Chain A
Amino acid sequence: MTENLTLDYNLLKDLTQAYGPSGNEKQVAALIKEYAENFVDSVETDTLGNLILRKNGSGKGSNKKKIMIAAHMDEVGLIVTYIDRNGYLYFSPVGGIKVAELPGRRVMFGCGLKGVIARERKVNEQGKPIGKCFIDIGVLGEEEARNKVQEGDMAILTGEFVETDSHIMAKALDDRLGCFIALQACKNYQGDHDLYFTFTVQEEVGARGAKTAAYSIEPDLALIIDTTISYDTPREEYSTAANKGVAIKAMDRTIIVSPRIKQWMTNTADQHSIPYQCEVISTGGTDSGPVHLSKGGIPTGGLAVPVRYLHTASEVAVKADIEAAYALLSELLKNPLDI
């Protein structure tokens, strides 16, 4: 790689630990704003809650491009749907969370209130649990529970930030990792183009924030930074995997990246000896889906960090991949594709 990178992982720690289920991203936005205020040219929050940081380029004339860089602030979570007379909270998932895997996990509400997830003891004839999951927040009855939460409140899974020599483990790496990489690139960018660092909302429930943000920004080019499933765990078929470099998107369920954009990205990675792999998945999508269909079509590329155990409280990523993603994004912004 071209430069010796020192990324400030303390920032990643703060980002991952912030509360921000889909539709409730304010705390994450506040954190990003506070961090970036001093090195951007403008800060704007739109109707849906997308946070847009602008960095003006020094270029002049027609070569100056408007580039949108997007990472989503929201994380998967739970929404309270019913409070029973003993003060137990029933819930539905917000985004792709597997409810059956939740018992034993701890949660946190926006106000900081903590709870644990448990399950009704019912089993079927084979002895498999069939009970519903609920949240126990440690109250003595419905009334006390209602003083602290109400139906519609959202909780997130808590998961401590752990940094090893080579790995990061934490909740919400999807997609605070993307926010982190975008922020580092934003801080260090000095170039010709106008950059719109867009921290989007509601990606986990259908890439909703990115749709309106792309419509209003109407960029010449968009780059989406997200996470992707790492298939390097035991007894798994091999495709995208942690420690194999940044993933450059070729296809998912919501986009087929233009071959020209894919080539620009892989060529840039080759030129700067940045390790990369191509991402081909038949499920899932990211903000790149709605963005590339906005305003008569916006040229859009996607990069991702492979993450193990996505959408759990313990997501795991490899630092080398994070650094590769950062390096690639920085190089792409220096020499964007001429459309």
Chain B
Amino acid sequence: MNLYKNSHQLAQELITQLSPAWGVSGYEHSLKPILKDIFIKFPVEITDDFRGNFYIRKDGSQNKQTVMLAAHQDEIGLMVKYIDGLGLVHFSNVGGIDQRTLLNQEVIIHARQNIRGIISLLAQEKATPSKRSFLPEELVIDTGYSLEKATQLIKPGDIVSIVRQPITLLNQRIAGKAMDDRAGIAVMAVCLNELTRIEHKHRVVAVATVQEEVGLRGAVTGTDRLQPEIAVAIDVTHAQTPDSKAQVNHDLGKGPVLALGPNIHPKIFEGLQAAAQENRLPYQIEPAAGPTGTDARVIQLTGEGIPTGLVSIPLRYMHTSVETISLSDVVDSGKLLAYYIASLPEDLEELSCF
């Protein structure tokens, strides 16, 4: 059974569907029906937990051991802090949002009802002619409501998401919000789709984790529950932009980025690299000197320790609403993971030793 003959089409459909959907860290519940809708079509079992980690299990031919895939479903956003005397809504960041890009954005405040607003700048007390920048606390949401109406409808603690429809650029590129890490979920879907026609021995559990952007929290609890033998996290990494000079080595469209370093089990890196070479898939390498800023960081340290790998999709303009990726990298990453999983030895214990 192979649902989608064309992985490309699958990836494009999912990203177009997932990118505009809202699911700020801690408030991912509205993504659940969408994820269900997507993965119910696969030959898989679906479960979730209290905080919203979404588990997609595909059985293997032997099924004795578990390979975990993890891509986070949450996106960065804002939370209402208080409403000032003019009815303007002040907020806190949820996750490491790129402050420069917030001004003039359209947002939705998810209060008892959804309320649209735009982000504006407070009159600056100490503005000088030379001042070209602003402080984070000078940004506010203007809903158009009066003070009375605003305080009645909006409460501190209400979550706020950014509004943006994805657009297709040239060269299979897509720009939009939350590509970090909905593109990773598309990678897991491509992988599971490929695995419907490739034999694999082990059980694969793809987890759409929650709360990555605020401290990898869903991966902490999700991995603890799952206790897999090995794991591969899927996230995004900075790609070259016109102004990045020589400091960034990865480019859009040149294939999945395989991390290596202390956070990564060398045998998993080698296995991924070998799978790419054998199947003539392009790949790029990213050395990570310390712990990576991804779910891989906490997965590796769960329980007695879990051999962990990391596959990243190159992405431009991180943590803005115009994050740009290449579809071919998503497809190649999914295929690479499928080939890697199929190539795994009968007993994953072999990987536990260094």
Interface residues of A (CB under 8 A from B): 237-239, 248, 250-251, 254, 256-259, 262, 277-282, 292-293, 295-297, 299, 339
Inter-subunit contact A256/B81 (CB<8 Å): no
Interface centre among B27, B81, B93, B220 (most CB of A within 10 A): B81
Decide: A297 and B79 in contact? CB cutoff 8 A.
no
Distance between Cα atoms of A250 and B82 in the complex (Å)? 12
- Among the stretches B169-177, B209-217, B312-320, the one at the interface with A is B209-217
A-B contacts at CB below 8 angstroms, number: 68
Tell me the minimal C-beta distance from A267 to chain B in angstroms: 12
Given contacts A250-B156, A277-B156, A278-B156, contact A237 B221 (CB under 8 A): no
With A239-B81, A251-B79 known to touch, is A296 a contact of B156 (CB < 8 Å)?
no
B221 near A296: Cβ-Cβ < 8 Å: yes
**Complex Cα–Cα for A339 and B80 (A):** 26
CB-CB under 8 A from B294, the residues of chain A are none
Establish whether residues A297 and B26, one from each chain, have CB atoms under 8 Å apart when the complex forms: no
Q: Which of B26, B90, B221 contacts A256 (CB 8 A)?
A: B26
| B217-A293 in contact (CB<8A) | yes
Known: A258-B50, A293-B217. A250 touches B157 (CB 8 A): yes
Q: Which of B331-347 contact A (CB under 8 A)?
A: none
**A259 & B29 in contact (Cβ 8 Å cutoff):** yes
Q: Mark B207-247, 1 if CB is under 8 A from A, else 0.
A: 00001001101001110110000000000000000000000
Report Cα–Cα, A172/B159, bound state, in Å.
33
Going nearest first, the 4 A-B pairs with the smallest beta carbon separation are: A256-B26, A250-B157, A297-B221, A278-B157
Contact B214 A280 (CB under 8 A): no
Contact residues in A for B224 (Cβ distance below 8 Å): 295-297
Q: Are B27 and A259 in contact (CB under 8 A)?
A: yes
Q: In whole Å, how far is A275's beta carbon from the nearest beta carbon of chain B?
A: 14
Residues of chain A lying within 8 A (CB to CB) of residue B225: 296-297
- Residues of chain B contacted by A256 (CB below 8 angstroms): 25-27, 94, 211, 214
Query: Whole-angstrom distance between the alpha carbons of A256 and B159 in the complex?
Result: 11
Query: Which chain B residue lies CB-closest to A251?
Result: B79
Q: B25 — which chain A residues lie within 8 A by C-beta?
A: 256
Which of A238, A248, A262, A282 is close to B92, meaning CB atoms less than 8 Å apart?
A282
Question: CB-CB < 8 A to A250: which residues of B?
Answer: 79, 156-157
How large, as a class, is the contact surface on chain B? Answer: 20 to 34
Residues of the B chain whose Cβ atoms lie less than 8 Å from the Cβ of A262: 157
The answer to whether the Cβ of B49 comes within 8 Å of any Cβ in the partner chain is yes
Residue B155 interfacial (CB < 8 Å) = yes
Using a CB-CB cutoff of 8 Å, which residues 137-158 of chain B contact chain A?
A: 137, 155-157
Residues on the A chain within 8 Å of B137, using CB:
237
Smallest Cβ distance from A220 to chain B, in angstroms?
A: 10
Q: Does B51 contact A (CB under 8 A)?
A: yes
Closest residue of chain A to B82 (Cβ to Cβ) is A239
Chain A residues closer than 8 Å to B217, beta-carbon distance? 292-293
Residue interface mask B53-67, A partner, CB < 8 A = 1 = 100000000000000
Shortest B272–chain A CB gap in Å is: 28
Q: In the complex, which residues of chain A have a beta carbon less than 8 angstroms from the beta carbon of B27? A: 256, 259
| Complex: A339 Cα to B50 Cα, angstroms | 7
User: How many angstroms between the C-alpha atoms of A255 and B242 in the bound complex?
Assistant: 37
Instruction: Give the chain A neighbours of B50 by CB distance below 8 A.
Output: 258, 297, 299, 339
The minimal Cβ–Cβ distance linking B156 to chain A, given in whole angstroms, is 4
How far is A279 from B225 in the complex, measured between Cα atoms in Å? 30
Q: Which of B170-214 contact A (CB under 8 A)?
A: 211, 214
CA distance A281 to B215 in the complex (A): 16
Given the contacts A237-B82, A239-B81, A280 and B49 also touching, CB distance less than 8 Å: no
Q: How distant is B338 from chain A, measured CB to nearest CB, in Å?
A: 28
Which of B53, B82, B220, B224 has most chain A Cβ within 10 Å?
Answer: B82
Q: Closest Cβ of chain B: how far from A75's Cβ, in Å?
A: 26
